Structure 1
Amino acid sequence: MTLPHFSTKDRILYAAEELFAQQGFASTSLRQVTSRADVNIAAVNYHFGSKENLVNEVFRRRMDDMSRERLAALQRAVEAHPGQLEPILAAFVEPALAMAQDRHGGGAFIRVIARAYAESNDSLRKFLSDQYGHVPREFAKALVGCVPGLGKEDLYWRLDFLSGALTYAMADFGLIKRPAGVSEANHRQRAAKALIRFAAAGFQADAS
């Protein structure tokens, strides 16, 4: 596959994202990436320096924007709906589902996220924690005021469960498929509303 209308760096990132989605991180070689991107190995070394950095940049170019959008939506939700649970959950869910519908590789990136969950890659997990761990922590702080009787451990468990359910919904391989005649945007809105209601009930459930 060639992407002549993109920069060399973008072509490498798109190729790497697709290959990581299909084969995983360990099974994908830089030679495969350069072949799909139609560049030489020197271009990868120039732009990224190493395979580890390339993996990180595949995440960074998607996660940076999504994280900014989540935190901006969270601030708006807290200011406009203080103490309300569902607007905060919407700020977490909706930007991620929107990113999943991005026609320029959003679907492939969701499979890359699934690979990150499935594969043991300590370096990648540390990178994600260092770069983006502040996002769920900010949401946890906001959620405390909505479920004051919930302990910190239970709160973090439920936020983890929401993240897993969201990844599943983003991948769109569940029981609910987009019906004929329903736009992707409408299907995404329905999915978001259903997930937010489900998550709200989970956060409000009594802790054991």
Structure 2
Amino acid sequence: MSETPADTPKRQRAPSKRALQTKARVLDAAETVFSIKGFDGATIRDIAAEAGEPVGTIHHHGGGKERLYHQAVARRAGPLAERRLAALAAVKAAGDVTIERVLTAFCSPFFDLAQEDPVWRCYARLVAQVSADSRWREIRAAHFDPAFEVFLEELSALLPDVPRRHIVATFVFSVSALLALLTSRDRIGEFEAGDIQDTEDLRSLIRFCAGGMAAG
């Protein structure tokens, strides 16, 4: 039986350059507003005002508030995971794998991105929200857990005599410490008389976390 025109699936046209730019602007605004006000405090009108777009445009490109939150979190998670896994591959290829080097491979990509572009510090606040709220377990599982588990296995292999629960707990603490560093840099400056560079803070954090993990 031949297909009738009604049976033939319609081809969807690729989004125009203008549409893609509008969606990026909507997601940028969502990221900013959610990072400041949180999911519960933010409104679609807040995001529309930040984006300089009508409310209808926000709904068209982002859907409802929850879907928009998912998209705002998801869009940077992939590039971040890719950088982390590439850094870990480089550590393994070079040999002499240590706890500090594995933690550096995990932490440095996020840190470097935040140094290159302040929007990543904004994104860090979003990730901190997702990490702390059980509502977003699905987002964590889809976008953050796969890379986390790869690093967890590497750390476990380096610490065969340390209970796995301790490794998991201290790795989670390490992630929380990284997010705190990315989101509260000014707070450190309030108590530091000298001119400490961000990279020194990261090295201190990694040494601290590695020591706690190895202590068992």
TM category, shorter? 0.7 to 0.9
Counterpart check, 1:47 vs 2:61: yes
Residues 4-26 of structure 1, C-alpha deviations (whole Å, 9 max, x = no match): 9x921121112111111221111
Q: Could you tell me which residue of structure 2 aligns to residue 199 of structure 1?
A: 209
Cα gap change, 1:181/1:106 in structure 2, threshold over 3 Å: closer, same or farther?
farther
Q: Do the aligned partners of 1:70 and 1:91 also contact (CA within 8 Å) in 2? A: yes
Q: Could you tell me which residue of structure 2 aligns to residue 101 of structure 1?
A: 115
The 4+ residue runs of structure 1 with deviation greater than 6 A are 177-182
- Residue 137 of structure 1, CA deviation: 0.5
2:206 partner amino acid? I
Q: Could you tell me which residue of structure 2 aligns to residue 189 of structure 1?
A: 199
Structure 2 counterpart of 1:138, from 141, 150, 173: 150
Counterpart check, 1:168 vs 2:180: yes
- Residue 178 of structure 1, CA deviation: 11
Q: Could you tell me which residue of structure 2 aligns to residue 86 of structure 1?
A: 100
Q: Could you tell me which residue of structure 1 aligns to residue 128 of structure 2?
A: 114
Q: Structure 1 length normalisation: TM-score?
A: 0.83
Structure 2 counterpart of 1:156, from 168, 178, 193: 168
User: Hey, what's the Cα distance between the residues in 1 that align with 2:209 and 2:95?
Assistant: 17
SS in 1 for 2:59: helix
User: Hey, what's the Cα distance between the residues in 2 that align with 1:189 and 1:58?
Assistant: 27
Structure 1 counterpart of 2:140, from 101, 121, 128: 128
- Residue 150 of structure 1, CA deviation: 1.1
Unpaired segments of 5 or more residues in structure 1?
none
% identical equivalent positions: 26
Q: Could you tell me which residue of structure 2 aligns to residue 77 of structure 1?
A: 91
Q: Do the aligned partners of 1:70 and 1:92 also contact (CA within 8 Å) in 2? A: yes
Which moves more between the two structures, 40-49 or 15-24?
Answer: 40-49
Q: Structure 2 length normalisation: TM-score?
A: 0.80
Cα gap change, 1:181/1:102 in structure 2, threshold over 3 Å: closer, same or farther?
farther
Greater Rg over alpha carbons, structure: 2
User: Hey, what's the Cα distance between the residues in 2 that align with 1:92 and 1:59?
Assistant: 18
1:37 partner amino acid? A
Residues 111-131 of structure 1, C-alpha deviations (whole Å, 9 max, x = no match): 22333345x451x23112222
SS in 1 for 2:188: coil
- Count of aligned residue pairs for this structure pair: 197
Unpaired segments of 5 or more residues in structure 2?
1-17
Cα gap change, 1:9/1:138 in structure 2, threshold over 3 Å: closer, same or farther?
same
User: Hey, what's the Cα distance between the residues in 2 that align with 1:102 and 1:112?
Assistant: 18
Aligned residues: CA RMSD: 2.6
Residues 118-167 of structure 1, C-alpha deviations (whole Å, 9 max, x = no match): 5x451x23112222211111001111222121121111011111011111
